[in-house]
Structure 1
Amino acid sequence: MKLSRHTAAYISVFCVFFINAVDVSQAKAIESWIKMAATALVIVLALAFYLHSLGSHKKVMNQTGLHWVVCLITLAGLSLAWSIDSSATGTAIVAWIYTLCAAYLLIGLGIPTAMTIIVISFAWLCAISLALSLTWPDAFMLNQGIMRFRGIFYGPHALARPAAICLCIIASGVLLVRKPVLFVLALVIGTSLLLTFSRQAITVMMIGVAIAVLMRARTYSHAVIIGSAGAFLLIGLSYAYISGHGLTEIASFDDGNDVQSLTGRTFIWEATLLLIQQKPYFGYGFGAGGIALQDYYSAGAYNWTTYNAHNAFLQILLDLGVAGLTVFLLMLGYWLIRSFSMFPVLFFPVLICVMLLSFVERGFYSVGGFIPLVLMLVLLSRSHHISGRLNA
C-alpha cells in the first residue's frame, strides 16, 4: 500500500484541527487518549516522510525559516527550568512540534496545494457542524444574549478565527479548485462565520477579503494598497495622540465590563501587565503564563477567570518575557519579508488578518493549531513543488 504525501497532509491537517478546535469533551474517558493518538499520528507521518526523503537530497523547507521556528521551540524547552507549570509548558511545546510536522507535510506539496488542503479540510468540519446543527441543540451556545454557532468546535471563536482567514485565502484566488467548488467552499465557511456573530472575526474577514480582491483586480498597485493601509493606521495613532485618549480607551466603552467582546479586554491587559512586571525578562514559562493570569483572577473577588491575555504580544511577554518577544518580533519581521516575496496577493491579506486578530486574541501565538500552521507555511515554504509517495 502506498500513502501519498497529499493524503498524509490531509490527515495531518484534520488532526491539527481536531486536537486544537474540535470539542470531544463529551467523551471524557477517552478524550486525552484520542488527542494523544492524533498528535502521535501527525508526528509519525512527518517523521516517516522525512526519513523517506533523506536519500533524495532535496530540501523541502526554507532553512532560515526553520531555524527561527527551532529557535523558538528551543527557548520554550529552556523555559521548563523556570516554568510555574511544567505540564502546561510541555503541552505547548508538543503543540508547536506537531504543528511544525503538519507544516512539513504541506510544504512539500507547494503553497497552492497546501492552502487548498487547509481550506477544504476546514470546510468539511464546517459542513459537518451545519448538518449537525439541524438536530443537535449544543451546536449553538447562548453568549451575550444571542445564540451563537459553534458546531463541533470548542466555541464560536474557535470556529470564527480560522473561518475568517480561510475566506481571505479563497479571495486570493490561489486555491486549485473549480469555480463551483470555490463557491461552495465560500458559502459553507461564510455561513458558519456569520452564524458565530463574532464581530472581530467578521470585521477582520471583510478587511482581508477587500485587500485580496483589490490586489487581484490590479485596480491599484500593491504599493498603493499597502501604503493606504499604513496611512489609515497612522491616522488612527495620530487621533489617539491628539485627542488625549489612550488606544485602550478608544477601543473600549462601558468601562470595559463586557469581557467577551472586543471592548472588554482592557482590564485583562492591565492585569497581564502587572504580572509581566514581576517577571519581565523570561516570563512564567512557555504556555504557562495563562496559569499565572488564571490564578490572579481566582485569588480576587471575581465571578469568572481567564488564562488568555487576549493579545498575542502580551501573552508572549507573560510566557517568555522580553527574550521571547525579541525572538517573535524577529520571526514576524522575516514573515513580513516573505509575505512580499512569495504570493503577496495571498500572504499580505492573511498577514493583515492574523495581526488584527492577534491584538484581541492569541492569534499567531496560539498553542499550536491553525494560525501557527499558516505562520509556519510562510516561514518554511520554498518556490519549488515536491510530491512524493511513501510505501506503507
Structure 2
Amino acid sequence: MAANTLAHRKLRAPAEQRRGLYRVYIAVLCGQFVLTSGHLNLPVDAETSNLLQRGAQVAFLLAAIILGLALDWYGKRQLALNYAALSVLAVIAYCFCGAFWTDDPAAVLSTTLLLAVSTFSAFICERHIGLLGTLRLMRTACLALCLASVLLVALVPSFAISDSYFWKGAWLGVFVAKNGLGYAASYLVALSGMMLLFCRKTRTDIFSLLLGLSVCIGADSRGALLVALSVLLFLVLLRARIIGSIAIVLIAVAYLALLILFNSGIIVSIEGDYLQVGDLSIHLNRTDIWSYAMSLFLERPWLGYGLGAGWEGERADIFYNRFGWVLDNFHSGYIRALVELGLLGAILIFIGLGITLLRAIRTYHASRGNSLPALATAYVTMFLASNVTETYLLRSTDVKQFVFTIVALSIWRQYEVRHLLPRKASRKAQPPAAQIA
C-alpha cells in the first residue's frame, strides 16, 4: 500500500507542477497584455516612461516564451507548423529583407526581430490557452485598464483628464493619449459583446459592455466609439447568421458612403486642417499625416522604406518643420504597410488579411452553431476596422496585433481541419486511376 501511495505521489507531482506553471504563465500573459495596450502615463518624463515600458514589454514577452516552452516540455508536446504559420514566416522574411534597401537597417532589423519574437510567443500561446482563453484574457486586461482609468478620473482628475487645446476635457486615464483609452474601451465593448452573444452570459460581461461604452464617450474618441458600435452591429448580424458576401458588400458600400460624405461637401466639408460640421470645427491631425505619408509612398512605391524605418531621421524632421508637431506612427495600419513595406509587401499583407477574413466567415457558416469561428470572425473584423485610423498592424509591442496573430492561426487551423484535411483523406482513399483523372 505504501508503494502504491508513493507511486501515486510521483505521478501527481508533475501534473501539479504543470498546473502551477500554467497559472504563472497566465499571470505573465495578463501583465503583457496590460503593458502592450498603449502608451501608459507613468509619473516620469516621456523618454524615461517610454524606455521603462518598452523594457517591461520585452521582459514579459521573453518570460511568456520561456514559460510556454517549459509547459511544452512538461507536456512532451512538439511544435508543428501549419499554413498560417508558414504565411506569417513569409511576411517576416520579407520584412527582414527590407534591411537591404532601407536607409536605416538597424531600425528595420530591431523592429522585425521583435515582431518575430512576438509572433513566436503568439504561436505558443495559441496552443496553450486557445482562442477563447486569449479573448477572455484580453477582455480582463481591457477591463482592468478601464477600471483603473475611471478611478483615476474620479480621484485625480488633474492627472487623468486632459487640459490640452485639442483634447480639452477628454479622459486619459492611465494612458498618455485619449485614443489609447478609447480603443482599450472599444475592444472591451467588442469582446464583451462577443461573450454575451456567443458564450455564457454573465454580469461581468454586461458590466464590461456598459463600462466600455461610457469610457469611449468620456475619452471623446469618436473613431473608437464608431468601431465599437459597428462591431456590435456586425455581431448581431453574425448571430442572425446572415453574414456572408452580402454583408461584405454592405460594409464596402458603407465605407464608400463615408468617403463620399467626407469629400462631397454636402453634409460635411474639409477646410484646411479642420472638419466643418455645421458650426463645429474639428482639427484633423490625421489628414496631415496621411497626405505626408502618401507623398513618402510615391517616392519609394515598390519596396518601401523598411519596417520601422518609415518615420525615422529626416522624414520626421521634415514633417515637424512643415506642421509643427510629429508622431511616431501613421495613424493607419494600411498606410504604414504601403509606406514601409512598399506595394509588393502591402499586397502580400492585404491578400493574407482578406483570405483570413473570408476563411473565418466560411468556417463559421460550416460550424453549425460553434461559437469559436464566430468569435474569430468578429475579432478579425474589429482589427481590420480599427486599423483604418490607428496603427496596430505589424506592431510587435501591441496586444491587438498579438491577439490577431493568435486568432489568424486558430482560423487557419480550423479551416485545415474542416476543409483541407478531409480533402486529402478523400484523395488518399480514391484508387490511383481516379486520382490521376
TM-score w.r.t. the length of structure 1 is 0.82
Separation in 2, partners of 1:5, 1:247 = 56
Cα displacement string for residues 323-357 of structure 1 (whole angstroms, at most 9, x for unaligned residues): 32122123212321342225343233333332222
Separation in 1, partners of 2:22, 2:207 = 25
Residue 172 of structure 1 is matched in structure 2 by 194
Matching residue's letter, 1:255: G
Deviation at 1:152, TM superposition (A): 0.9
Matching residue's letter, 2:69: Y
Residue 11 of structure 1 is matched in structure 2 by 28
Indicate the SS of the match to 2:218.
helix
Residue 104 of structure 1 is matched in structure 2 by 123
Matching residue's letter, 1:17: V
Cα displacement string for residues 286-318 of structure 1 (whole angstroms, at most 9, x for unaligned residues): 111122642331243x32223432222221121
Q: Which moved more, 1:351-360 or 1:229-238?
A: 229-238
Cα displacement string for residues 131-154 of structure 1 (whole angstroms, at most 9, x for unaligned residues): 122222221113536311121112
Cα displacement string for residues 180-238 of structure 1 (whole angstroms, at most 9, x for unaligned residues): 1222322333322221111111011111112212322x2x6333xx5145135337648
Separation in 1, partners of 2:263, 2:234 = 28
Superposition pairs for residues 101-180 of structure 1, below 5 Å?
101-107=120-126, 108-136=128-156, 137-142=158-163, 144=166, 146-173=168-195, 179-180=202-203
Residue 381 of structure 2 is matched in structure 1 by 352
Residue 200 of structure 1 pairs with residue 223 of structure 2: yes
Residue 308 of structure 2 is matched in structure 1 by 287
Separation in 2, partners of 1:69, 1:373 = 12
- Residues 261 and 246 of structure 1, relative CA distance in 2, 3 Å threshold: closer
Q: Which of 65, 70, 81 in structure 1 is aligned with 2:89? A: 70
Residue 36 of structure 1 is matched in structure 2 by 55
Residue 186 of structure 1 pairs with residue 206 of structure 2: no
- Residues 209 and 25 of structure 1, relative CA distance in 2, 3 Å threshold: same
Deviation at 1:376, TM superposition (A): 0.3
Deviation at 1:276, TM superposition (A): 1.2
Task: Return the structure number with greater relative CO, CA threshold 8 A, min gap 6.
Answer: 1
Separation in 2, partners of 1:374, 1:90 = 23
Residue 5 of structure 2 is matched in structure 1 by none
- Residues 312 and 236 of structure 1, relative CA distance in 2, 3 Å threshold: closer
- Cα RMSD after superposing both structures: 3.5
Separation in 1, partners of 2:257, 2:155 = 51
Matching residue's letter, 1:14: G
- Residues 23 and 183 of structure 1, relative CA distance in 2, 3 Å threshold: same
Residue 253 of structure 1 pairs with residue 270 of structure 2: yes
Superposition pairs for residues 264-303 of structure 1, below 5 Å?
264-291=285-312, 293-300=315-322, 302-303=323-324
Work out whether residues 195 and 205 of structure 2, in 8 Å CA contact, stay in contact via their aligned partners in 1.
Answer: no
TM-score w.r.t. the length of structure 2 is 0.74
Q: Which moved more, 1:35-44 or 1:96-105?
A: 96-105
Residue 373 of structure 1 is matched in structure 2 by 402
- Residues 7 and 339 of structure 1, relative CA distance in 2, 3 Å threshold: farther
Residue 83 of structure 1 is matched in structure 2 by 102
Q: Which moved more, 1:231-240 or 1:158-167?
A: 231-240
Matched length: 377
Matching residue's letter, 1:125: L
Work out whether residues 145 and 184 of structure 2, in 8 Å CA contact, stay in contact via their aligned partners in 1.
Answer: no
Work out whether residues 36 and 397 of structure 2, in 8 Å CA contact, stay in contact via their aligned partners in 1.
Answer: no
Q: Which of 311, 322, 334 in structure 1 is aligned with 2:343? A: 322
Work out whether residues 92 and 367 of structure 1, in 8 Å CA contact, stay in contact via their aligned partners in 2.
Answer: yes
Q: Which moved more, 1:164-173 or 1:108-117?
A: 164-173
Indicate the SS of the match to 2:155.
coil
Q: Which moved more, 1:369-378 or 1:248-257?
A: 248-257
- Residues 152 and 87 of structure 1, relative CA distance in 2, 3 Å threshold: farther
Indicate the SS of the match to 2:397.
coil
Structure 2: state its 5+ residue gaps. 1-16, 365-371, 416-437
Indicate the SS of the match to 2:233.
helix
- Residues 98 and 156 of structure 1, relative CA distance in 2, 3 Å threshold: farther
Q: Which of 56, 65, 86 in structure 2 is aligned with 1:46? A: 65
- Residues 304 and 33 of structure 1, relative CA distance in 2, 3 Å threshold: closer
Work out whether residues 24 and 31 of structure 1, in 8 Å CA contact, stay in contact via their aligned partners in 2.
Answer: no
Separation in 2, partners of 1:293, 1:308 = 12
Matching residue's letter, 2:191: I
Separation in 1, partners of 2:394, 2:292 = 19
Deviation at 1:105, TM superposition (A): 4.5
Indicate the SS of the match to 1:318.
helix
Indicate the SS of the match to 1:253.
strand
- Residues 283 and 323 of structure 1, relative CA distance in 2, 3 Å threshold: same
Separation in 1, partners of 2:44, 2:255 = 47
Separation in 2, partners of 1:155, 1:235 = 28
Pair member with larger Rg? 2
